Each structure stands twice: as structure tokens, then as C-alpha cells.
Amino acid sequence: MKSVFETRKTLIAGALAWIFWQAGNEFHQIAWGTGVWLGEFSPSWGILFFGFVAVCALLWIGLLALLFNERAVSSFTRLVVRFRNKLGILRWVLWLIIFLSPLYFFQFTSWGVVFQKEYFRILVWILIVCILTVLSSSGERLAGWRSFLAAFMLTASLFSVALSLRLVNDYPFSQGWSEGNRLWDYSVMFGRERYQYPPDKDIPVFLDFGRQFIGALPFLIPNLTIDMARLWVGMIQVIPYILLGTVLFRFEAGNKVLWLLLILWTFLFLKQGPIHPPLVISAVMVALAWRSPLWIAIPLMLGAGYFAQVSRFTWMFAPGMWIFMLEITSASFHDRKAAAPFLKRAILLAFFGFLGGVLLANLISASQTLLQPAASPEVISTPMAVTETEESAETQNRYPPFIQYVIDSTASQPLLWYRLLPNSTYGTGILLALLYAVVPLAVLLFYITRKKIWQLNALQKLSLLLPLVAFLVVGLIVSAKIGGGGDLHNMDMFLIGLLFTGTAAWRHGGREWVLDENKIPDLLKAVIVFSIVNSSMGPLQAIRSFEYGEDIDRINVLTDMPFGETVEMLPAQQVIDEALQIIQTEVDIARAQGEILFLDQRQLLTFGYITDVKLAPEYEKKLLMNEALGDKKAYFETFHADLAAHRFSLIISEPLRSPVKDSSFQFGEENNAWVKWVSIPVLCYYEPKIALTEVGVQLLVPRAEPVDCSNQLP
């Protein structure tokens, strides 16, 4: 046993030595090249570097003493405990300051841009967690397992929340490929008065009802600004997860600290997707229905099924399957008579979940269709309403609607199976990333079932495994579709299903086992720590400020950016104002000559940055991409005809280019589809007039001389 302890201490010492060494190398890369003192240090950066090395060395020596010298541990423990006790309530003030310090440093200062390397940030995280653990421990113990776990999860959650909110600002232009246009999508439901468009015509939006509804809620507020809308978008990347954890673990409400930690674990586990808020909200309704009286549970399941279906068609069966998993594990099958009511309840609630997703959703949709006035021929003929099919009606109706939809959607776009493995689009690949995300929980579940801590019979095991396998297969197929495979968000039903399985395990024996540090093996403690680390490394590395555009030259030097490249940063306010003025001027000129198409950057209309423009709702960027991925020729015939006729006097877009790429490039196939169906045709009939590269906008006007583009069209 002693040799095992010695080996463990050696491994800990070696791992931390590696982190110290790598963090020192990263600090050296920043400091080197800043001057000519002692090589290529500036005096200030040289002093900082050597000071950092000295601190790391002292920490390492102290660590060795604590690991291998019991007398040193005893003396150090007495000293720290005495100091902690003298602090009294001030230790919690100190705890809060230390807890928030990495967020302030990385997210709200320019140093967070400079110190972006992973090992430096890991080292900071380790030190913060250690200090917080010691401060929050009680009695004569230096640190405890529960205090350590709490500090780890709280800091990890802080990083993930910060990442969700990092784009909250009043920058007028899009902060991602579709970020700006997505804000436009949300605005249409409750804010269509913001646009010059006939009130008797629908504004088509390429977004399911559930997702649009959640994003649209802040537009009920008059004069909503773009930073307020972005704050809401950031909040709905946090609040639904927190709400799900709150409801799911409500049976722990008597222990507020434990309840909070379980809520945060739910948040961290699901953020590994991440998962679209509507599905999380459906899961909240399922969690509320679990173990609630039937008169409450049945309406909740109807609502969960309905909301899942109107948010994404393929989610329609998930709520029914989830509730069956939760309810069936609540029964004890040692007494069949006692188990029968649980089984009947599980079947009944699953049925109402399916009913909400299939029948209720279709009934409401049919009622809305009957109540709506007939669409005018003009609306029907818009390209947004065009659907392409290569099959006959007989072929289309060969299978039930849901099965046919899955077949058609799968066949309509290519499946890129290589994205399941490490690739340029997603470094780890879907399979490896999924293993990192779920194996820790799977290992814990396997252990507690194998050791009979959580006892299940064959029916219960099948009731858990079969839905999980179904969710896994569907998620892998959808992740392989072109346009996907960039993260784990298509594994959403599987991740939530595994979360529910973990919750059932916690309730039926896992709780006492995890919280008792004498029962849980050290190896499984390491598995728990790994799961938290894996869920938080991405946010830890990604959080930083984008607000230091005026300091970009210094930052470029410190981050060793290659010549001609620069750190991504928001432009200076003067650049933003000039860009908006140029766009408004060009819009005013073009308005008298024809329609103006905001293919991209539609949020400029939403929030009034560009005014006096009649909305042309067709040919929105995300819709064009979706149709391009499916090679929808019929749709693009209309688009290309409008381009040839110079229907639009001005097109506002991202910079359009026409290079063809292969799978060695990130989203290479998606790029090629866009180039084939959009970039080449637009650049053939239109020519760039102004390129506002710093804000990512290009203004295109019809070519003065007619061009025969027939040989360039697909």
C-alpha cells in the first residue's frame, strides 16, 4: 500500500513539474523578442519572466516537501489552519476575490489576450483551485475532497458562463459567420415593425419555431438594442441548463451547497455539446414530470413533446423516451406487484410525450393553416417557398412521414464520415470528443452497477441502453452530414439521455458513494476530476477580451503574430462609424435604382444602424448555404435569374471569394458548395464596389458591361 501512495505522489509531482515547465516556456515566448536586454528581453519583461521562474521553482520545492515530508505537511497544516481561523468572515471575502480574479485577468484585461497559451492558464487554474479549497475547508483539515470538488466545479462553471457572455457588446457588425443574421431571425416574430415590408405578407425565416420563439422574447421590449439582444442570447446559453439542473436535482434542495454543485455539474456536462436551448427546455419539462402527480406530469409531457417537435422535427420522440428512462429506474422490481404501477406510469407518460410530439404538434399546425388566409400568388412564388424533389409522389409516400423525413433529409445532403475521426474541421473528431465527454460518466455508471451500489434488473438496463443507443446512432449520422461535425451539438439527445441516467444513479445509491471520500477509489476521483477538466478546457482557453483594438500593435508583438497577420480584435470606434456611414451612403444612392439585398449583416436593419431600406427577405445567407449543401438546383435557378436580371441595385455581403478547397481545410466541402452556388454566380453578375475588410463587409453592384455567365453557373 505504501508503494502505491509513493507512486501516486511521484505521478502528481511529475505532472505538476511538466505544467510548470510548459508554462515557463509559454511565458518565455511572450517575453522574448521585446527588447535587447540579456538577449531579446526588455528590462520589464525580463524581470517578469525571471520572477515567474523563481515563483514556479519555489512552488515546486514546496510541493515536494508537502508530498514527501510528513513533518513538513504537519507544520504547514497547523500554520495555514491557524491563519484561516484568524481570518474569520474575511476568509470568504478573500475567497470571492480569488475566485473572480482569473475571470477579470483573462476576460477583462489585455493580458488575457497575451496569455492565451494553455499551460499558463492551467497553472493559474490549479493554483486558484488549491487556494479556494484550503480557504473553504473547515476544522483542522488543510483540505477536503468536497471542498476541492466544489472549488473545481465553481471555477469551471465560471469559465463556461464567461464564454457564453463574451460576445455581449454593442458592436454593430456580425461577430461570427451567422451571428448577425441570427439576431435578424429572432427579431421577425415580435419585431417585424422594424422593417419596411408589407404587413399582409409573412417574412420567411430559416429557423424552427421553437428556437425562433426563445430568441424572439427580448424583442417584446421596445427599443431593444443589439447589446441587450446579445445579452439575452448569452443568457439562454446558460439559464436553461441551470434550470434543468435545478429541477432535475430538486430532491437535494435540503442541502443547498450540494444542490448548487449538482446544478453546475448539469451545466458543465451539457455545455460539452453545446445543446440548443429548446431541447433543454423540453428536458426541463420532462424533469418536472418525473415523480410528479399524473395531473401535472401528463400536461408537462404533452408540452415537452410538442415543443421538441416544433423546435426540430427529429427531436419529437426524445421526451417520451427520456421520461420512460427516468420512471422505469424509479421502480424496485424485487416485488412485481409494487413495480407494476411504476411500469404503467412510465408507459403512460411516454405515450403522452409521443402524443405531444406527433399528434398535438400536427393538430396545432393544421389549425393554424386553416385559420390563416390563403397566400397570394406572389408569396407562393417566392424562392423561399420553392421545394425541389427528384422523386415521384408515390416514392415520397412510401414510408410514414417521420421515417420519410429522416430518409429525405439524410439523402438530400452528403454524409462526410471522415469527420467522426480527427480532421481539420474538428481537431479531435466527433468520436474522440464524444469519448472525452461521456466516458468518465460511463465509467462511474459501470462501476456502481457492477458493485451493486445501483441495482438494476434486465428490463431496467434495456430501458436505459436501447434509447441511448438510438440517440447515439442518430447523433453520429447527423454529425456526419455536410454542414455539421464542428462540435458535439448533434449529440444532444444522447447527452441529455446520459444525464438522466446519471441522475437516476445518483438518486439510487450514487450519492452516498461519491460524497464519501473513503468509499470512492482514488482512480475514480481522478475520473471525476478529468470530466470537469474536459468540460472546461475549451472555455478556459477561449475567454478573452476583444475590446483592445487600439492596442493591437503591442499585442501582436507579445503574441508573436506572423508578419502580415494580427490578433482578432474589434475595430476601433472610428473605423466602425466610418463603415456604417459608407454603407448608409451607398444604400441611399442605390435605393432609387432598385432593391437592396442584405445577403448578410441583416442586424444592421434590425437595430437601426442602416435606415430607409425596403426589406428584401429572400436569399438570406444561412438559407442559401443550406440549399447549396443539398445541391438544390431548382432553388438556385430563381436566384441566378434574379442576379442575371440585376434585380438588386446593391448587395451587402461578407467578402465573397471563389477558391476551391479540399477536406484538409476547415469546412472545405461547405466552402466549395458556397463557392459553386453563391460566390461564383454573384461575382459573375456583380462586381465589388467597396470592401470594408476591417468589419467584414463587401458592397457589390451590377456589372456595367453585360457578361455571359452561362458557362460559370452550375
Q: In terms of pLDDT, which residue wins out, 587 or 547? A: 587
Lookup: cell for 356? 405531444
d(Cα 622, Cα 379) in Å, to the nearest integer? 20
Close Cβ partners of 400 (under 8 Å, ≥ 6 residues apart)? none
Place of cell 451500489: 453
Three-state SS for 690? strand
Band (383; pLDDT cuts 50, 70, 90):
very low
Residue 366 has what pLDDT? Answer: 63
pLDDT score at 376? 38
534 vs 437: CA distance, rounded Å: 7
**Span 208-222, mean pLDDT?**
93
**Mean pLDDT across 295-316:** 92
377 pLDDT above the threshold of 50: no
Phi–psi pair at 163, nearest 5 degrees: -65, -40
Averaged pLDDT for residues 552-561: 73
Whether the pLDDT of residue 155 is over 80: the answer is yes
Phi-psi region of 316 (alpha: psi -120 to 50; beta: other; left: phi over 0): alpha
Give the pLDDT band (50/70/90) at residue 412: low
Mean predicted confidence (pLDDT) in 657-674? 82
Contacts of 375 (CB under 8 A, 6+ apart): none
The answer to whether the beta carbons of residues 305 and 316 sit under 8 Å apart is: yes
Percent of all residues in the chain with a pLDDT value above 90, rounded to a whole number: 52
* Pairwise CA distance, residues 588 & 582, whole Å: 10
| C-alpha dihedral, 644 to 646 to 650 to 656, nearest 10° | 10
- For residue 611, name the pLDDT band (cuts at 50, 70, 90): very high
pLDDT at 370 over 60: no
pLDDT tens digits, one per residue of 496-519: 999 999 999 988 887 877 777 777
Q: What is the pLDDT of residue 524?
A: 83
**pLDDT of amino acid 662:** 66
Q: For position 391, what pLDDT does the model report?
A: 39
pLDDT higher for 409 or 186? Answer: 186
DSSP H helix total and E strand total for the chain: 32, 4
Average pLDDT in the 287-297 region?
94
Q: Order across the sheet with 648-653: list the strands.
A: 595-598, 648-653, 697-702, 686-692
User: Rounded to whole angstroms, how far apart are CA atoms 74 and 460?
Assistant: 49
Dist. CA 30–CA 468, nearest whole Å:
46
Structural domain spans, the chain: 2-168, 179-208+570-702, 238-366+404-541
Position 413 confidence tier, pLDDT thresholds 50, 70, 90: confident
Supply the DSSP string of 29-72, one letter for each residue: HHHTTS-SBTTTB-HHHHHHHHHHHHHHHHHHHHHHHHHH-HHH
Q: What is the mean pLDDT of residues 363-372?
A: 61
How does the average pLDDT of the chain come out, rounded?
Answer: 86
Structural contact between residues 619 and 597, judged by C-beta atoms closer than 8 angstroms: yes
* Amino acid in the structure at residue 273: G
Has residue 409 got a pLDDT over 60? Answer: no
For residue 334, what pLDDT is reported?
A: 66
Average pLDDT over residues 185-205: 92
Whether the predicted pLDDT of 390 surpasses 50: no
Please give the helix or strand (H or E) that residue 597 lies within, else none. Answer: strand 595-598
Q: How confident is the model at residue 216, as a pLDDT?
A: 95
Three cell numbers written together for 160:
463556461
Beta bridge partners of 702: 686
Q: Is the pLDDT of residue 146 over 70?
A: yes
**For residue 274, cis peptide bond before it (omega within 30 degrees of 0):** yes
Cell 438518486, residue? Answer: 507
Mean per-residue pLDDT for 274-289?
95
The band of 565, judged by pLDDT with boundaries at 50, 70 and 90, is low
Residue 241 pLDDT grade (very low, low, confident, very high; cuts 50, 70, 90) = very high
Burial (0-12, 13-18, 19+ Cβ within 10 Å), 604:
buried
pTM, two decimals, is 0.89
- Residue 368 belongs to what H/E stretch? helix 361-371
Q: Which of the two residues, 162 and 254, has the higher pLDDT score?
A: 162
Higher pLDDT, 450 or 184: 184
pLDDT > 70: percent of the chain: 90
- pLDDT score of 388: 37
At residue 2, does pLDDT exceed 90? no
Q: Which of 107-121, 155-169, 356-370, 496-510 has the lowest mean pLDDT?
A: 356-370
pLDDT of amino acid 380? 32
Question: pLDDT, tens digit, for every residue of 539-549?
Answer: 999 998 888 77
Query: Between the CA of residue 416 and those of 410, 449, 629, what are the distances in Å?
Result: 11, 36, 12
The residue type at 116:
Q
What H or E segment, with its residue span, contains residue 92? helix 90-108
> Using an 8 Å Cβ cutoff, are 443 and 524 in contact?
yes
Asked if 453 and 507 count as a contact pair (C-beta separation under 8 A), the reply is no
Predicted local confidence at residue 398, as pLDDT:
55
Question: pLDDT tens for residues 60-72?
Answer: 888 888 877 777 7
- Read off the pLDDT of each residue in 393-406 and give the average, rounded to a whole number: 50
Q: Are strands 697-702 and 648-653 parallel, antiparallel or unpaired?
A: antiparallel
